[in-house]
Amino acid sequence: MILVGFMGAGKTSVGRALAGELGWIFEDLDDRIEQREQRTVAEIFRHAGENAFRRAEHSALQELLRELTNQSERIIALGGGAFIQENNSRLIEAAKVPTIFLDADVDELWGRCSRQMEALQTERPLLGSLENFRDLYESRRPHYRKASFTHSTTGKSVSEIAAEIVRRLGLHSKSRKRGDSH
Ligand code: S3P
């Protein structure tokens, strides 16, 4: 299952929670890019530019999808721009991996990113001003809506969202399976 959505949507934190709940493997595409390139996403943007980042992102996605098998129990979080690139969404469609668009009010997305930046010193090269953030969100939203499911996260905690997705997709949590067996 692939999680898509804008910066601050919770793709990584919800992805980790979902993987924990289901006993699946979690993977973040940005982490794979950083490992392959041996530098951070922010450094790639700074030194090589966005186009170079998009090329690295596409080839990391290609590699990741090649590793998936039908039985792959994996939750994959994409960076906010990955699903917008047509060459990426085509690959995902061809791989037949279900996608979930995690959505939220743009003001809440902005708030989450700002808080993360302060608390964790996370660097997001495309954060910009609130006005640019809003424009970028509006222009991307129709693309995210092409995901198999849209799930609203406004006002919800990470664990709440993960539990809702497990229920919505009829998946079984690890703990439930254990409970069911006696
Ligand atoms: C990007 C989002 C980032 C990261 C890169 C580009 C984007 O990931 O991939 O900075 O284009 O929205 P997050 O969505 O995890 O912040």
* Atom 15 (ligand 1) nearest CA: 79
Which residues contact residue 84 at a Cβ distance below 8 angstroms, ignoring those fewer than 6 apart? 140, 143, 144
Phi, psi (deg, nearest 5) at residue 70: -60, -30
* Residues 169/28/85/59 CA torsion (nearest 10 deg): -130
* Atom 1 (ligand 1) nearest CA: 80
Share of the chain above pLDDT 90, in %: 82
Average pLDDT over all residues of the chain: 92
Q: What CATH number is given for 2-174 in this structure?
A: 3.40.50.300
Cβ(41) to ligand 1 under 6 A?
A: yes
pLDDT at 117: 84
pLDDT at 178: 47
Most ligand 1 atoms within 8 A of CB, residue of 124, 140, 144 to mutate: 124
Tell me the domain boundaries of the chain.
2-174
